[in-house]
Copies of this chain bind each other. A is one copy, B any other.
């Protein structure tokens, strides 16, 4: 049999018991005849604790040193995991990102993987050992400094290693039982997806589904590598993320893959922008200069009487202050009237490749929201997604109504919520 790459998040190895439970899973895969490579995150809250220490020492830690600090977290979890596997009678060797050949650019804190040269991993596998690799970290090509990949980086490490090793599958173990048609904490009868396409999963992740990070799904799609998302706390079969098999008529292909929601955004409205060429561009330039990623953007029709228009957009709440300050600086230059800021919003998205060929989806979605008395503040659509911004207090109602309208319910409750997420 071939190579299996398994990734375990921080909540799966939060304590010694978790480490031992994960070790047993790893040994099970080894005994089933696979060559096993494991990518592991830092234990539980380790990363947050280290960041806290850094803040006690310096208000603005140099990124190189912050990366050096944070990578201590995986060093601890991977060594403990290797010990626990050894205890079960199988040799395991731990490797830092650098030792595993994870080569990145030099952007500390959000480095991109440039290349993976897993020579030491392959040697360990050849010798019958299990390789345990630190997630989230690499070494920069130019300066040979230690880098981190940013949040979600461990998933990306796992997928990148799996691609470089030509693994059969990358198994991502997390604290949920797979990808569901909605967050089971909101919709208890949400149905587990047995399979979902890269394209749908990308939209789900972009719209707030926290199971997988966008970046790791993109990486997997590029290398056509199947991802299998499973819980490390149960034996549930999880969800496969892969393209529909060629030639096969995928019976599972539903109209709607799921309903995602996101409470992490805020909405800014620039009121009374003079309706002249270039004014909107000036606003978005200022936001781009401030390194702010916008999500949805809506421009109202200009009121004929005033020749002025309103521009609204959503952005990560964490960037709210920066964005407001950047816009305030160009008030006189642009000549708008005022700024409105609202962080009591939520985004609810309907995702499904099937909606391409089903024109009634939008109507069904909106009438379900109307029946649930949910007021829509903004709308944006793509070919396989419809997103709406609603009041934060109405997010749960909107998710529940949409989920019911498209008959996504499972026959019985199948989701278990374990709480916490890794990085």
Contacts and interface: CB of A to CB of B under 8 A. Distances in A.
B75 A71 contact: yes
Interface string A9-21: 0000000100110
Interface in A195-247: none
Contacts of A54: 79-80, 83
A145 to B, nearest CB: 8
Nearest to A73: B72
Interface in A20-79: 20, 50, 53-54, 56-59, 61-62, 64-66, 68-69, 71-73, 75-76, 78-79
A94 interface: yes
Given A72-B72, A72-B75, A79-B66, A87 B16 contact: no
A61 B86 CA distance: 8
B71 A86 contact: no
Nearest to A62: B86
Nearest to A82: B65
Say how many copies of this protein the assembly contains.
2
User: What's the interface size class on A, roughly?
Assistant: 35 or more
A204 to B, nearest CB: 35
A99 B96 CA distance: 13
A109 to B, nearest CB: 13
A361 interface: no
A53 B82 contact: no
Contact of A65 (B50, B59, B66, B86): B86
A188 to B, nearest CB: 36
B71 A83 contact: no
A57 B83 contact: yes
B144 A99 contact: yes
Contact of A75 (B19, B56, B75, B120): B75
Contacts of A82: 62, 65, 68
Contacts of A76: 50, 53, 69, 72
A403 interface: no
Given A57-B87, A58-B87, A69 B65 contact: no
A59 B75 contact: no
Interface in A79-126: 79-80, 82-84, 86-87, 92-94, 99, 120
A250 to B, nearest CB: 43
A69 B80 contact: yes
B58 A68 contact: no
Contacts of A20: 57
Contacts of A83: 54, 57-58, 61-62, 65-66, 69
A16 B56 contact: yes
Contacts of A61: 83, 86
A66 B86 CA distance: 12
Nearest to A70: B79
B75 A58 contact: no
A22 to B, nearest CB: 11
B80 A75 contact: no
Given A62-B83, A82-B62, A99-B144, A68 B57 contact: no
B80 A57 contact: yes
23 contacts: A19-B57, A20-B57, A53-B80, A54-B83, A57-B84, A58-B86, A58-B87, A61-B86, A62-B82, A62-B86, A65-B79, A65-B80, A65-B93, A65-B94, A66-B79, A68-B75, A68-B82, A69-B83, A71-B75, A72-B72, A72-B73, A99-B144, A120-B144
Given A61-B83, A68-B78, A120-B144, 8 more contacts: A20-B57, A54-B80, A57-B83, A58-B83, A65-B94, A66-B83, A68-B79, A71-B75
Q: Which 4 A-B pairs have the closest CB atoms?
A: A69-B79, A16-B56, A68-B79, A58-B83
